[in-house]
Structure 1
Amino acid sequence: MTQGDPGTSPGQSLSTPRAAGLAGIVFAALLAAAIVLARLALPEGGGAAEIAVTSGQRDAVTTAVELVPFAGIAFLWFMGALRSHAGEREDRFVATVFLGSGLVFVACLFGAAAAAGTVLDADQPQEFGRHFSYTLLTTYAMRMAAVFVFATSTIGRKLGIFPKPLAMTGYLAGLVLLVVGSSVPWSELLFPAWAALVSSYILRSGRIRTRGA
């Protein structure tokens, strides 16, 4: 949204990009940290089911599980700030896909964190929790993330909020998450990387508008 858009106050046009950018960067940092900790503590495949969880791994999983709720909160704030940044010109169909995929992603993310937390209980079958957590994260959450990336890139391209290279990068990232996300280890880090890239662009464009004002 540009500064001259009707129905937008100067304060809103300058503060909303900053809110979207900061929330996106916080989300990207928290989710990336949680994924790395979970991946290192609970390796998938290669006989991982037979690996006993050590105290250090439990600490890493505990930290990852505790980071996820804050990542989800930051992501919801990121979604709201992006919608406010787009304004009333957004396409209702794409906006519905944007909102729905984002909410389902957060639900899957929380479910994956809850499943990963089962390895902290010695009385629970750790293999099931580990497998369920990875399946929910890589198969379902990341595919919803891919749809969210597609919808956000489409909105940004149609409204001129994103430059064409950034929109194309989003489409490519979404395609990777959608097609190979569940079969390539660590590919889920592509989503927080994309969020950080979008947030950095929004912050930079917001500073440019601030100087112009």
Structure 2
Amino acid sequence: MQTTGPGRRTPSGRTPQTRRTAGLQTPRAAGLAGIVFALLLAAAIVLIRLGIPEGADGVTPQGFSDSARRTAVRTALALVPFAGIFFLWFVGAVRAHVGEGEDKFLATVFLGSGLVFTASMFGAAAAAGAVLSTAHPAGTNPSLPTWDFGRHFAYTLMTGYAMRMAAVFACSLSVIGHRLGVLPRWLTVLGFLTTLTLLFVSSNVPWAELVFPAWSLIIGAHIFVVAGRSARIPAAD
């Protein structure tokens, strides 16, 4: 039964005002999830870089015996699962924010790259964790072939594959945001610059991978602020 006037109800029993209010919660959730993901991933990357400043080519089992460095790396690896969880929330909430107007091709690339990035990030963290466990099960060092394989596998998976999937994710989201007008032009340009950096620079330049959490932080903050402004706009009758 439908009623007229400000208190009219739909067949579902919800007023238009209720539907508008509920719909505005998802964008704010997207922004918050993006912010938390960016902070967690940035913290993990910084701890990894501080714990292993030499990178995959410079660290050895004997040189990685310092407890402070191992603690930094283990802390970074402990943050990765939570970063992945918030990233998945970020992906889902952004898709809900974009709505039904998104292009199916771009939406598939956006979702697929996000899932592959998460899987690659988890795989790299698991490989690094396995290397640490093998290296010091009882204060001993692993054989050199085992150490070499583990450290190169973890670094390659993270910098070579995960970061390139992050580039595809940033590019697809920037294109979707530009086409639908949900992202300003400067943020679209920033997304394309992030894409180029992750594709061609991050695997060779230390600390360059921080551009992805930095971009995610800006995207999340933008969505959160814009959604907050929309929520304060009085709904028309």
Report the counterpart of residue 33 of structure 2 in structure 1: 23
Question: Runs of at least 4 residues of structure 1 off by over 4 A?
Answer: none
Q: Which of 62, 65, 88 does residue 100 from structure 2 map onto?
A: 88
Letter paired with 1:56: A
Report the counterpart of residue 5 of structure 2 in structure 1: none
Report the counterpart of residue 216 of structure 2 in structure 1: 195
Report the counterpart of residue 163 of structure 1 in structure 2: 184
Letter paired with 2:227: G
Change (3 A) 1:47 1:65: closer
Asked if residue 181 in structure 1 is aligned to residue 202 in structure 2, the reply is yes
Report the counterpart of residue 100 of structure 1 in structure 2: 112
Asked if the contact 2:56/2:151 (under 8 Å) is kept, the reply is no
Report the counterpart of residue 134 of structure 2 in structure 1: 121
SS across alignment from 2:182: coil
Asked if the contact 1:112/1:132 (under 8 Å) is kept, the reply is yes
Distance 1:68 1:164 in 2: 31
Superposition pairs of residues 146-161 of structure 1, within 5 angstroms: 146-161=167-182
Q: Shift in Å at residue 16 of structure 1?
A: 1.1
Distance 1:104 1:45 in 2: 22
Moved more, 9-18 or 27-36: 9-18
Moved more, 61-70 or 123-132: 123-132
Distance 1:168 1:41 in 2: 33
Q: Shift in Å at residue 112 of structure 1?
A: 0.7
Q: Shift in Å at residue 54 of structure 1?
A: 1.5
Deviations 1:7-40, CA, capped at 9 Å, x for gaps: x931233201110011001100111111111111
Q: Shift in Å at residue 46 of structure 1?
A: 6.7
Q: Which of 10, 14, 17 does residue 24 from structure 2 map onto?
A: 14
Paired residues in the alignment total: 207
Deviations 1:170-203, CA, capped at 9 Å, x for gaps: 0111111111110111111100000000011001
Distance 1:186 1:30 in 2: 15
Letter paired with 1:69: P
Letter paired with 1:111: G
Distance 1:97 1:88 in 2: 16
Asked if the contact 1:58/1:120 (under 8 Å) is kept, the reply is no
Task: Quote the sequence identity (%).
Answer: 57
Unaligned residue ranges in structure 1 (runs of 5+): 1-5
Q: Which of 22, 41, 48 does residue 59 from structure 2 map onto?
A: 48
Letter paired with 1:47: G
Letter paired with 1:98: F
Moved more, 133-142 or 39-48: 39-48
Moved more, 91-100 or 49-58: 49-58
TM-score by length of 1: 0.91
Unaligned residue ranges in structure 2 (runs of 5+): 1-15, 136-140
Asked if the contact 2:33/2:89 (under 8 Å) is kept, the reply is yes
Letter paired with 1:187: A
Letter paired with 1:116: A
Structure with the greater alpha carbon radius of gyration: 2
Distance 1:28 1:155 in 2: 20
